[in-house]
Amino acid sequence: MSTTYPRPRGTYDILPEDSHRWRHLEDVFLDVCARFGFRRIITPIFESADLFERSVGDTSDIVEKEMYVFSDRKGRRFALRPEGTAPVVRAYVENDMHMQGGAARLCYMGPMFRYDRPQKGRYRQFYQYGLEVIGSNSPAIDAEVIGVAGLLLCTLGLVGWKLEINALGAPTTGDAFERALVEYFTPHRDELCEDCRTRLEKNPRRLLDCKIPGCRAVAKDAPVGLDYLSPEDREHFDIVCGHLTRMDIPFVVNPRIVRGLDYYTGTAFEIVDDRLGAQSTLIGGGRYNGLVGQVGGKDQPGIGWAGGFERLLLALDEEHIAAGEPLRPVVTVVALGLQAAAAAPALAQRLRLAGLAVEYDPDKTSMKAQMKAADKSGARYALILGDDELAKGVVALRNLTDGAQQELAEMQAIALLLENK
């Protein structure tokens, strides 16, 4: 039905019949993270707009076109967070987490916001999960971080994904790679979009990231960063690849991966599932060794990745994987007659106190309506309370799977239900 106030374009409601799938993803994600020693961090949903402009980059699509920026009543500029890395790094710096010794392993999930044209797998509010390791530049950490993503997808039962990796190399303005890009793109200037002409002057690396078909066609044969790596960066990348091979994580090197955010400096990777269509990247991430310094902290290397639950669910659908089970009550209380109806709420409360999920609907009075409700909710037992049972001080417990029914004292019924919940 249409409403006077429909939800904003590019957003969605997660209805109760689906919410168990989200819960399942949250549980599996946190469980897999815990196996690697990651602890959850929860940061605000809005941050100073400058934080993203400075870190994600003011020539990136996210900042230029997609950020929800607003001013508060005192005229301070904020942004709904478009991604999680900059806020996590901000929190790391602000809370002196480098003092805790060793690299910080932080994971997070929650809504992010990007104003983009909505389509399958792309929303204006989406639910992102991700992790960051701040304080280590070891190539073993790159491999381990990628290993978390692989294990997450395997644990969910997904098999149809592909890991692509690349090395971007630390960007220094005017370096050999940038010069090569300018040299390559300048003769094609007229074929480029307005934005790319600006990028040619301001941030040539961004030329590789434009989504406009004309620009993509030109970028197809552009130089790739992998050919311009310093010997140290090359060695780092080779070690990462060696670890991945020994960890049995299949990957392909794709020198065309650029990533859409400015903070990347080294290993970059994407996990793609081609069956998802245009929005096929399940997970994307990489190394950002300059970001902590940029955000005002003492220089620390960092690496991480993030993905969206929505695309994960699409991938699960593709592979016909159910993702968790809907919550259902263990028992439905069926009250027959006025006296039983008076006793039922307290009975339900005692059962819940014992730890059982209980359904009782006082608006249904007939046996038929109450049994139908029990059937619909998927309860495995009905606890029937009628005048007879009340008089005898017992309850009738019916197993809804096989129809077997027995009269029990309330305490016995609770014990049996707890045993079988």
Q: How far is the CB of 128 from ligand HAM (least distance, A)?
A: 5
**Residue 260 in the binding site for ligand HAM (CB under 6 A):** yes
**Residue 286 in the binding site for ligand HAM (CB under 6 A):** yes
Site string for ligand HAM, 289-328 (x = CB under 6 A): ---------------xxxxx-xx-----------------
Site string for ligand HAM, 221-250 (x = CB under 6 A): ------------------------------
CB nearer to ligand HAM: pick between 285 and 290: 285
- Residues 318, 354: Cα–Cα separation, whole Å: 40
**Residue 132 in the binding site for ligand HAM (CB under 6 A):** yes
CB nearer to ligand HAM: pick between 7 and 179: 7
Considering only residues 68 to 107 of the shown chain, the ones binding ligand HAM according to CB under 6 A are: 83-85
Q: Which residues contact 166 (CB under 8 A, 6 or more apart)?
A: 225, 226, 253, 254, 255, 256, 257, 267, 268, 269
CB nearer to ligand HAM: pick between 84 and 297: 84
Cβ atoms within 10 Å, residue 412? 14
CA dihedral 223, 305, 18, 122 (to 10 degrees): -30
Q: Which helix (H) or strand (E) holds 383?
A: strand 381-385
**Residue 108 in the binding site for ligand HAM (CB under 6 A):** no
CB nearer to ligand HAM: pick between 207 and 276: 276
Q: Which of 281, 289, 294, 339 binds ligand HAM (CB under 6 A)?
A: 281
Interface with ligand HAM: number of residues (CB under 6 A): 27
- Residues 260, 206: Cα–Cα separation, whole Å: 8
**Residue 164 in the binding site for ligand HAM (CB under 6 A):** no
Considering only residues 173 to 202 of the shown chain, the ones binding ligand HAM according to CB under 6 A are: none
CB nearer to ligand HAM: pick between 195 and 273: 273
Q: Which of 38, 126, 237, 251 binds ligand HAM (CB under 6 A)?
A: 126
Cβ atoms within 10 Å, residue 378? 15
Part of the chain binding ligand HAM (CB under 6 A), chosen from 11-19, 114-122, 342-350, 386-394:
114-122
Local structure of residue 63 (DSSP, 8 states): I
- Residues 282, 26: Cα–Cα separation, whole Å: 15
**Residue 130 in the binding site for ligand HAM (CB under 6 A):** yes
CA dihedral 229, 230, 235, 237 (to 10 degrees): -30
Name 269's bridge partners: 165, 285
Q: Which helix (H) or strand (E) holds 349?
A: helix 338-353
Q: Which of 285, 297, 301, 329 binds ligand HAM (CB under 6 A)?
A: 285
CB nearer to ligand HAM: pick between 78 and 305: 305
Q: Which residues contact 192 (CB under 8 A, 6 or more apart)?
A: 185, 200, 207, 210, 214, 215, 218
Q: Which of 98, 114, 199, 236 binds ligand HAM (CB under 6 A)?
A: 114
Q: How far is the CB of 304 from ligand HAM (least distance, A)?
A: 3
**Residue 284 in the binding site for ligand HAM (CB under 6 A):** yes
CB nearer to ligand HAM: pick between 138 and 377: 138
φ/ψ bin of 403: left (φ > 0), alpha (ψ from -120 to 50), beta (otherwise): left
Residue 91 tokens read as: 């929190």
Which has the closest alpha carbon to 83: 317, 313, 288? 288
- Residues 347, 141: Cα–Cα separation, whole Å: 54
CB nearer to ligand HAM: pick between 153 and 306: 306
Q: Which residues contact 316 (CB under 8 A, 6 or more apart)?
A: 21, 156, 157, 158, 322, 323
Q: Which residues bind ligand HAM (CB under 6 A)?
A: 83-85, 114, 116, 121-123, 126, 128, 130, 132, 260-261, 281-286, 304-308, 310-311
